[in-house]
Amino acid sequence: MDIKLKLNGKPICAQIDADTVLLDFLRAQGCYSVKRGCDTSNCGLCTVLMDGKPVLSCSMLAARAGGHSIQTLEGLQEEAADFVGFIADQGADQCGFCNPGFVMNTIALLRENPDPTDDEIRAYLAGNLCRCSGYDGQLRGIRNYVNSRKG
């Protein structure tokens, strides 16, 4: 079947199978930032934005994305670059495999809530697992970024 959607701002048209999962579709489109870490919607590695909302691309049929706007980290480099340096300063990127999903969900968080408390950050990002960092370094990075914006 054919689908039309906006991928990172560009309208695209593609042929897919009815059971193609959005994650696989996006990787086939060259969006390698989208990672698979589990098959049970538990890890958050495959997070992308659909119409601005964070969703798990491993658990969505690509067909449902038809007619919608999908953004991956490839399309949000500048918005991400604005804050990821603060995470790098903590060394909290570590192995990096969870980073794209975590960064995407942080973008969603900061758009929704530009001045989150630590508890709000933890709650919003609870669906993003990280096995390396112990989470606190990620939190410090986001906190430092938010504080830096307050001047």
Partner 1 sequence: MITIQKYVRAQSLEEAYQLNQNKRNRIVGGMMWLRLGSGGVGTAIDLCDLGLDTIEETDAQFSIGAMVPLRQLELHAGLNAYTGGAVKNAVKDIVGVQFRNMATVGGSIWGRFGFSDVLTMFLAMDCFVELYKGGLVPLEQFAGMKKDNDILVRLIVKKTPGKFIYTAMRNQRTDFPVIACALSQMDGTYRAVIGARPSRAMVIRDEKGLLAQGITESSAKALAEFAANTAPTGSNIRGSAAYRTHLIQVLTERAALELGGM
Partner 2 sequence: MEQREYKVVGKSFRKKDSMQLLLGKPVYMEDVTPEALVVKILRSPHPNAMVQEINTKAAKLVPGVVDIYTWEDVPKTRFAIAGQTYPEPSPYDRLILDRHVRFAGDAVAIIAAETEKAAWKAMKLIKVKYEVLEPVLDYHTALDNPILVHPEEDWEPPCQVGGSNKRNLVASGVDADGDVEGVLQDCDIVLDRTFHTRAFQQAMMEPFGCFTQLDRYGRLHVVSSTQIVFHTRRILSRALGIPKSRIRVEKPRIGGGFGAKQTAVCDVYPAFVTMKTGRPARIIYTREECQIAGSPRHEMEIRVRLGANKDGKIRVLDLYTLSNSGAYGEHGPTTVGLSGHKSIPLYTGSLEAYRFGYDVVYTNLQAAGAYRGYGATQGIFAVESVVNELAETLGIDPTLIRDRNMVRQGMVMPAYYGETANACALDRCMEHCREMFGWEEKYPVRDMGDGKVRAAGVAMAMQGSCISNVDVGSATVKLSEDGTYNLIIGAADMGTGCDTILAQMVAEMMDCSFDDVAVFGADTDASPYDSGSYASSTTYITGKAVEKACLELKAKICAIGAEMLGCEPEAVVMESGKVRKIDTDQTVSLTDIAYRTQVGCNTAAEATATHSSPVSPPPYMVGMVEIELDKRTGLVTILDYMAVVDCGIPINPSLARIQTEGGIVQGIGHTLMENVTYDSHGRPAESSFMQYKLPTRLDMGTLKVEFEHSYEPTGPFGAKSIGEIVINTPAPAIAHAIARATGVWHRELPITPEKVAMSLAETQMG
List of residues contacting partner 1 (CB under 8 A)? 1, 17-19, 21, 39-42, 44, 47, 53-56, 58-61, 63-64, 105, 108, 123-128
Nearest to 141 by CA among 106, 108, 112, 113: 106
Is 73 a binding residue for partner 2 by CB under 8 A? The answer is: yes
Are residues 94 and 115 in contact, defined by beta-carbon separation less than 8 angstroms? no
Q: Which of partner 1, partner 2, none sits in contact with 33, Cβ below 5 to 8 A by type?
A: partner 2
> How many binding residues for partner 2 (CB under 8 A)?
52
- Taking residues 20 to 59 in sequence order and writing x for each that binds partner 2 by CB under 8 A, - otherwise, the string is ------------xx-xxxxxxxxx-x--------------
Task: Kindly tell me which of 91 and 118 has the beta carbon lying closer to partner 1.
Answer: 118
Kindly state whether residue 99 participates in binding partner 2, applying the rule CB under 8 A: yes
**Cβ distance to partner 2 smaller for residue 7 or 35:** 35
What residue ranges bind partner 2 (CB under 8 A)?
Answer: 32-33, 35-43, 45, 72-74, 77, 80-81, 84-85, 87-100, 103, 122-123, 125-139
